[in-house]
């Protein structure tokens, strides 16, 4: 079959030589239970329901948006091993506009959300006549299956996906797919979503919210029982229950009930304080945060730390949550675009780790002599100025070499009496010139410089 004008394997021609990963290493498609026997007890973690949990939703969208807002730079290494931003007609366009229907932010959000929700992100490459990647498509992870041939080669079976111009099922070699995955517990080609660990806590949080919603839909009146002082028949009990449900539940809850013949109503629902409703809901959210390695205060769970250094908080969030995701994407792009050793991709993390204005100005002030003034101005989004391309220091700063030459003299600190200059008293102008010449020679001698 042809895809993007190129010939690839059809499904039938490759079926005998390849096998999906489910048939190797004991398979990875299995019932993932929160505890042994949970499935038999109908304690089910529903994927779609977990996605609607407020904590899980907040963690996924926070991570995806924070990564997507970072600009991807194309960088080049010079002879000194320093990486600096550059542009290249073969790679810059696809980094700036990955495909026709997504900008770079939408594309990267799809990439990260696919990885967080399914543990895998499959990105299909579209090449031009030169073999250079010109477009990238994030595929539906449920429509892509890794395959392994008898000789260990990796292929991917892609199902129909009109948005990615895949008209029918096709098998492509691994070089045509960027496969970003993490938490590969059961198979090195199959990642595992954090939902595997936090799904039960998310379901618990949803159960608490659903129960509370039903409670308040009933006018905040708990369910209960009607008791009689003596025995009653089943027909009487059914009639009383139907009458009570019709007249005093749902929209009619809160109405005045008149009971006779010694009937009593007793509520049976536990109080919110007794069941620690708020504490349980907060705990379930914190468990979900821990599986994504997101600090709970980032999604509104608990108070924000009292540390007033914004940068240190962002650095903690970056190092424990975002860094591995960012570097994985950078490496996948480097290998997937075949950029080479001298070029690479890099996220611009300045916006993420931006300091407060006072700390930033203090850092720039202490960077004198290390950073050039124009480099400092660039950090503040200011234009360069003439003469600001070299690091600068004050005049009284001398090199260690000059100071060593000074210390090597017999009298480095000038304690010995100095010879007076020979001054011609008859010519004041000549006298001043001789004095200046003498002082200049003395200073150069103290510094160990040539006369």
| CA 163 from centroid of its chain's CA atoms | 26
Contact 311, 317 (CB under 8 A): no
Contact 448, 405 (CB under 8 A): yes
CA distances from 193 to 32, 196, 269 (A): 12, 6, 36
pLDDT band at 12 (very low <50, low <70, confident <90, very high): very low
pLDDT surpasses 70 at 300 = yes
In 146-177, which positions are buried (b, 16+ CB within 10 angstroms) versus exposed (e)? bbbeeeeebbbbbeebeebebeebbbbeeebb
Contact 134, 93 (CB under 8 A): yes
133-138 sheet: strands from edge to edge: 133-138, 120-127, 177-181
pLDDT surpasses 70 at 25 = no
pLDDT tens string 65-80: 999 999 999 999 888 8
pLDDT tens string 381-400: 788 888 788 887 776 777 77
pLDDT tens string 155-192: 999 999 888 888 889 999 999 999 999 888 888 999 99
Q: How many residues does the chain have?
A: 451
How much is the pLDDT for 24? 47
Contact 95, 345 (CB under 8 A): yes
**Half-sphere exposure (Cβ direction) of 308: Cα atoms closer than 13 Å:** 3
Of the candidates 386, 364, 390, the residue with the CA atom closest to the CA atom of residue 377: 364
Residue carrying the six token digits 């509104």: 300
| Chain mean pLDDT for the chain | 79
């Amino acid at each position: 079959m042809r895809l993007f004008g190129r010939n690839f394997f059809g499904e039938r021609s490759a079926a005998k030589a390849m096998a999906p990963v489910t048939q190797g290493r004991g398979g990875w498609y299995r019932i993932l239970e929160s505890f042994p026997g949970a499935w038999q007890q109908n304690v089910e973690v529903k994927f779609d329901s977990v996605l609607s949990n407020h904590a899980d939703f907040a963690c996924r969208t926070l991570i995806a948006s924070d990564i997507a807002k970072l600009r991807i730079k194309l960088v080049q290494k010079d002879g000194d091993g320093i990486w600096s931003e550059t542009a290249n007609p073969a790679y810059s366009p696809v980094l700036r506009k990955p495909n026709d229907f997504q900008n770079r932010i939408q594309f990267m959000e799809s990439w990260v959300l696919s990885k967080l929700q399914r543990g895998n992100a499959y990105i299909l490459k579209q090449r031009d006549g030169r073999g250079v990647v010109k477009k990238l498509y994030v595929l539906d992870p449920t429509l892509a299956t890794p395959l392994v041939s008898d000789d260990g080669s990796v292929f991917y079976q892609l199902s129909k996906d009109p948005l990615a111009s895949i008209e029918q099922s096709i098998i492509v070699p691994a070089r045509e797919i960027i496969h970003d995955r993490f938490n590969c517990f059961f198979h090195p080609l199959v990642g595992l979503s954090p939902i595997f660990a936090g799904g039960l806590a998310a379901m618990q949080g949803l159960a608490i919210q659903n129960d509370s919603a039903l409670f308040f839909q009933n006018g905040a009146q708990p369910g209960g029982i009607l008791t009689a002082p003596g025995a009653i028949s089943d027909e009487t009990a059914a009639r009383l229950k139907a009458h009570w449900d019709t007249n005093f539940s749902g929209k009619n809850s809160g109405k005045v009930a008149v009971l006779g013949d010694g009937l009593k109503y007793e509520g049976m629902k536990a109080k919110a304080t007794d069941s620690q409703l708020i504490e349980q809901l907060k705990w379930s959210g914190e468990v979900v945060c821990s599986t994504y390695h997101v600090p709970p205060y980032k999604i509104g769970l608990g108070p924000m730390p009292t540390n007033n250094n914004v940068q240190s908080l962002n650095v903690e969030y970056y190092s424990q949550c975002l860094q591995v995701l960012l570097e994985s994407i950078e490496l996948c792009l480097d290998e997937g675009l075949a950029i080479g050793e001298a070029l690479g991709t890099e996220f611009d993390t300045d916006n993420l780790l931006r300091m407060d204005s006072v700390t930033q100005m203090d850092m720039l002030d202490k960077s004198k002599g290390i950073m050039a003034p124009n480099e400092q101005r660039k950090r503040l989004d200011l234009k360069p100025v003439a003469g600001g391309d070299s690091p600068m220091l004050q005049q009284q700063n001398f090199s260690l070499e000059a100071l060593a030459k000074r210390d090597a003299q017999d009298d480095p600190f000038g304690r010995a009496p100095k010879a007076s200059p020979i001054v011609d008293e008859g010519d004041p102008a000549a006298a001043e010139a001789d004095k200046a010449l003498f002082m200049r020679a003395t200073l150069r001698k103290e510094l160990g410089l040539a006369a």
